[in-house]
Copies of this chain bind each other. A is one copy, B any other.
Amino acid sequence: MHQPPATEHLLPYRQHIDQLRDCGHDFWRRGWSLGTSSNYSMVVNRQPLTLLVTASGMDKGHLGINDFVLVDAAGQPTAAGQPKSSAETLLHCAAAEHRQAGCILHTHSVWGTLLSDHYRSQSGILIEGFEMLKGLAGITTHEQSFWLPIYENTQDIPELTSRVVAGWLAPDAPQPAVGFLIRRHGLYAWGTDFAAARRHIEVLEFLLECLGRRSILGTR
């Protein structure tokens, strides 16, 4: 597709942008980022914290090179004239700050939507016994269990962000904290860099599909 040139403030981040565009195309192809759902970000500076975030309302299967916004730690644009950043930008900022994430990806799959509802009374999903868990940073054996928290959905993103951060800061916060679900909304996952974040999304989406299909199959 013909693309206009990148605007000047985005020029230094062209490689990050292309990684997120490719990733968006793949997630869209798989049905994890349909409509204008999902949003993606990368940390491009730590001092001060600066994130490259997808602009609001974009088709993630066909992201243009200018469909991105630079924001600070509070989710505010760092340059004038940028498009509005994704509505859920604050969740990205929080993961970058409190979880040292270098890349944060949000998918909106059928299984993520359904299981975040199916397990809502437990406020999370305990995943254990699967070899695939080893794809999550900090897990070295299938015998280690993983807690994927579920948060109630809301349109009040600052309030949602507070709840998520409170969970991370709690003395008994489950480890590793590499992702969470929002009820009937989907999955957030992150990692130290783009490859780690994408791997975490693939691992967690795979495991959610396993749990959903296992429930239908009736094992155990």
Interface residues of A (CB under 8 A from B): 30-31, 34-37, 59, 108, 110-111, 113-114, 117-118, 129-132, 135, 140-143, 153, 155, 182, 184-186, 195, 198-200, 202-203, 205-206, 209-210, 212-219
By beta carbon, the residue of chain B nearest A141 is B155
Q: Which of B36, B135, B205 contacts A37 (CB 8 A)?
A: B135
By beta carbon, the residue of chain B nearest A220 is B117
Q: Which residues of B contact A210 (CB under 8 A)?
A: 110, 113-114
Contact B34 A129 (CB under 8 A): no
Q: Which of B35, B117, B142, B206 contacts A35 (CB 8 A)?
A: B206
Q: Can you offer 10 A-B residue contacts whose CB atoms are under 8 A?
A: A30-B31, A34-B203, A35-B203, A59-B199, A108-B131, A118-B219, A131-B186, A142-B153, A143-B155, A212-B213
Contact B155 A142 (CB under 8 A): yes
Known: A30-B31, A31-B206, A118-B219. 13 other contacts (CB 8 A): A34-B135, A34-B202, A34-B203, A35-B132, A108-B131, A110-B213, A113-B132, A114-B214, A131-B185, A131-B186, A142-B184, A142-B185, A143-B155
Contact B35 A219 (CB under 8 A): no
Rounded to whole Å, the gap between the CB of A6 and the closest CB of chain B is 19
Chain copies in the assembled complex: 4
Q: How far is the CA of A48 from the CA of B219 in the complex (A)?
A: 45
Contact A199 B35 (CB under 8 A): yes
Contact B209 A35 (CB under 8 A): no
By beta carbon, the residue of chain B nearest A35 is B135
Q: A31-B206, A213-B212 are in contact. Are A130 and B113 (CB under 8 A)?
A: yes
Rounded to whole Å, the gap between the CB of A138 and the closest CB of chain B is 14
Q: Which residues of B contact A117 (CB under 8 A)?
A: 214, 219
Q: How far is the CA of A31 from the CA of B208 in the complex (A)?
A: 13
Contact A219 B185 (CB under 8 A): no
Q: Across the A-B interface, give the 3 residue pairs with the lowest CB-CB distance, nearest first.
A: A35-B135, A131-B185, A34-B202
Contact A132 B206 (CB under 8 A): no
Contact B186 A35 (CB under 8 A): no
